[in-house]
Amino acid sequence: MESKLFSPYRIKDVTLKNRIVMSPMCMYSSDTQDGKAAPFHFAHYESRAAGQAGLVMTEATAVVPEGRISYEDLGIWSDEHIAGLKQINEGIHRHGAASAIQLAHAGRKADLKDPIYGPSPLPFNEQLQTPNEMSLEDIQNVITAFKNAARRADESGFDIIELHGAHGYLINEFLSPLTNKRSDNYGGSTENRYRFLREVITAVQEVWNGPLFVRISGNEYHEEGNTMKDFLYYAGEMKKQGIDLIDVSSGGVVPAPIHPFPGYQLSYAEEIKRRTAIPTGAVGLITHGIQAEEIVQNERAELVFIGRALLRNPYWPRQAAEELGFTLEGPRQYARAWK
């Protein structure tokens, strides 16, 4: 059998050597609390590239300090972050993987002592603060922060940018009727709720020509949340704006139980891909090579994002290849051991 999982995938000028993506995962390891990359990050990301993931994506990286989930998050709100991010990139590129950065603003889910912000003054839960309702000026400032972050991502050497529009963080808060109760142009209709993301994308594209992904939550597990009709509208607009791939996760908008099972979010990625013909990424309890191969062979998604399985085993791609009946070449340094 010819493996599609291990075949290259090209987006604009970037070619991934396979379809396996390390899913963005917060590591709460910026020990100095200033958003700078630490030795842990260098080892963590490089080891997944050595393990032969085709694309290694950083955790949610904050575009402003008040947009962090925790004080230990990675940041990209200042030029001083570039040196550390460059070092992360060098480690990833050393092993032939491509690199991506997830740009994020936590909105009302920022677990910080400083004031926090959201589209509407509704707290996520009793533990987190009530966010300040963002003024039009606040909105413009955050859009500019995403643009500046994209410029810094470029200067840091990333191949791909992903905007974090999922899990109830700021972009998702604007998209969702559960969290966006605004009466201005940024709230109300589906079109208006999309306005913030639309403007973030446009601003980023002023400084970034490379592949641009957006992660969304394709199900909010709440009857008054966004529906598939809304998601198809957003996906259609993203396609028109030139987004290269939608990475489809789910949940996190309001506290609601999720009952995960293998591939539990896959149907959302599949439906968005089928109905809007935009490339998608599948994520969520994809733990086996055969499962990942099935997803790409049946064209249910273009890329497969692996989270916890890659935390447990940085060499997950090798394990997946073995399940599919072949031994993966690389890392080059280990080649003699397999002879």
- Say which DSSP state 279 is in: -
Q: Are 182 and 125 in contact (CB under 8 A)?
A: no
According to the binding rule CB under 6 A, does residue 149 interact with ligand FNR? no
Angle in degrees, CA 217, 219, 223, rounded to 5: 135
The one segment of 18-26, 74-82, 296-304, 324-332 that binds ligand FNR by CB under 6 A: 18-26
Q: Is 59 in the site for ligand FNR (CB under 6 A)?
A: yes
DSSP SS3 for 3:
coil
* Residues 54/19, Cβ–Cβ less than 8 Å: yes
CA 90, 94, 99, 105 torsion-angle sign:
negative
Instruction: Output 101 or 182, the one with its CB closest to ligand FNR.
Output: 101
**Does residue 285 belong to the site contacting ligand FNR (CB under 6 A)?**
yes
The residue among 93 and 308 lying less far from ligand FNR, judged by its C-beta, is: 308
Give yes or no for residue 306 binding ligand FNR (CB under 6 A).
yes
Exactly one of 75, 284, 289, 314 binds ligand FNR (CB under 6 A); which one?
284
**Binding ligand FNR by CB under 6 A: which of 249, 276, 280, 291?**
249
Which residue from 5, 16, 26, 63 is in contact with ligand FNR, where contact means CB under 6 A?
A: 26
- Cβ atoms within 10 Å of 191's Cβ, excluding its own: 11
Distance CA 226, CA 179 (A): 11
319 touching ligand FNR, by CB under 6 A: no
> Minimum CB separation from ligand FNR for residue 31, in Å?
17
Stretch that binds ligand FNR, among 24-32, 125-133, 294-302, 327-335 (CB under 6 A): 24-32
Residue 202: phi, psi to the nearest 5?
A: -60, -45
| Interatomic CA distance for residues 305 and 234, integer angstroms | 21
- For position 102 contacting ligand FNR by CB under 6 A, the verdict is yes
Exactly one of 308, 313, 330, 331 binds ligand FNR (CB under 6 A); which one? 308
Q: Which CB sits closer to ligand FNR, 102 or 180?
A: 102
24 binds ligand FNR (CB under 6 A): yes
Of residues 55, 92, 116, 166, which one binds ligand FNR by CB under 6 A? 166
Q: How many of the chain's residues bind ligand FNR (CB under 6 A)?
A: 20
Count CA atoms closer than 13 A to 110's CA, side-chain side.
Answer: 27
Residue nearest to ligand FNR (CB): 307
E-strand stretches of the chain: 9-11, 14-16, 20-22, 55-62, 74-75, 98-104, 117-118, 132-133, 160-165, 212-217, 245-249, 280-283, 303-306
Q: How far apart are CA 89 and CA 98, in angstroms?
A: 9
Residue 41 is a binding residue for ligand FNR (CB under 6 A) = no
Residue 188's CB: how many other CB atoms inside 10 A?
Answer: 15
- Decide if residue 309 touches ligand FNR (CB under 6 A): yes
CA distance 138 to 286: 38
Which region among 83-91, 150-158, 303-311, 321-329 touches ligand FNR (by CB under 6 A)?
Answer: 303-311
Phi–psi pair at 178, nearest 5 degrees? -75, -25
Binding mask 198-217 for ligand FNR (x = CB under 6 A): -----------------x--
Q: Using CB under 6 A as the criterion, which residues of the chain lie in contact with ligand FNR when the complex forms?
A: 23-26, 59-60, 102, 164, 166-167, 215, 249, 283-286, 306-309
